[in-house]
Amino acid sequence: MLWVDPTNPAIRSAVVSGVYGKEPHSAHGYPIIEEIDPITEVLTVASDILTPLTAFRVHPAGTAVEDFQVAPSAHRLSPNYTPIRRVLSVENVHEDELTPILDGWHLRNNDIRFENRCGIGFPSAWWGNTTLPYYTGPLDPGVSRGARIRVTYQFGSTITASARRAVLWYAHQLWLEANGCSDCDECQLPERTTSVQREGISFTLLSPQDYLRDGKTGIPSVDLYLASVNPRRALRPSAVFTPDSPAPENVSIQTVRPVWVPA
């Protein structure tokens, strides 16, 4: 998920120069090598690394499709990505066929709540009762009895000014590593583990793998931001799932960021 738009001239300048409003000098420019845009590449890498380090709390706006295995009923469904702006559809999945659930549910905060607490809120005229239909296939071991509900929804962006600055600075460091230039500040990305001894003084630099294992990047300003949004280094936002509130399974995620194709 790209956190920022790589086609924005201000974003592209900030990646190369490291500062908003500062034009990169002529030695950099905006090179495209064999139909690969380095600026988009480093922004993609920085976004891909920072997204899990923030426990997926920080992301651009987009549309997600998620399935919930309901057995035998559910009181609420809690999708993965928040804030939820709009629920596009709630459907029952049965033998690869989708049946819309048009009523009996409503969006409350970031949960989909069902009005009938004895089931999932199907109108009685549909199924002859107010509970979910059970699985009616062969009773093979491991077969889940219950229904599968598919939810398609739009979620909002959580890219704040601090998040945008962090990803741009991280992308700038990746840019410097890939495009070394004597006229720019030295790259701040940590090197692999080394040991230097001089006049009785020893220096040890940790490897990038050690930083990522601890939920950090090795860049002080970026790590300060990560500590503010994910101080406990969680892998996912905290949530409580019970049989009446099953965990979601991602089917597809599509962000609203445009895909930039070099001319």
27-41 pLDDT, tens digit each:
555 555 556 778 888
Are both 166 and 214 inside the same structural domain?
yes
Are both 49 and 81 inside the same structural domain?
no
* Structural domain total, the chain: 2
43 vs 143, higher pLDDT: 43
240 vs 249, higher pLDDT: 249
Whole-number mean pLDDT of the chain? Answer: 76
Q: What six digits make up the tokens of 160?
A: 């704040």
In this predicted model, what pLDDT tens digit does every residue of 127-142 receive, in sequence order? 333 344 433 333 334 4
Are both 177 and 79 inside the same structural domain?
no
Are both 186 and 94 inside the same structural domain?
no
In this predicted model, what pLDDT tens digit does every residue of 201-220 receive, in sequence order? 655 555 656 666 778 888 88
How far does CA 236 lie from the centroid of its chain? 10
pLDDT > 70 fraction of the chain, expressed in percent and rounded: 65
Entry pTM: 0.73
Whether 113 maps to a domain, the answer reads yes
Are both 28 and 75 inside the same structural domain?
no
Whether 2 maps to a domain, the answer reads no
Residue 50 belongs to domain spanning: 9-58+159-229
CA–CA dist 109, 241 (Å, integer):
17
In this predicted model, what pLDDT tens digit does every residue of 169-204 receive, in sequence order? 999 888 887 775 555 555 556 554 445 555 556 555
Nearest to 151 by CA among 63, 72, 244: 63
Half-sphere exposure of 233 (CA within 13 A, CB side): 9
pLDDT at 71: 72
Whether 1 maps to a domain, the answer reads no
Are both 141 and 68 inside the same structural domain?
yes
User: What's the longest Cα–Cα distance across the chain?
Assistant: 86
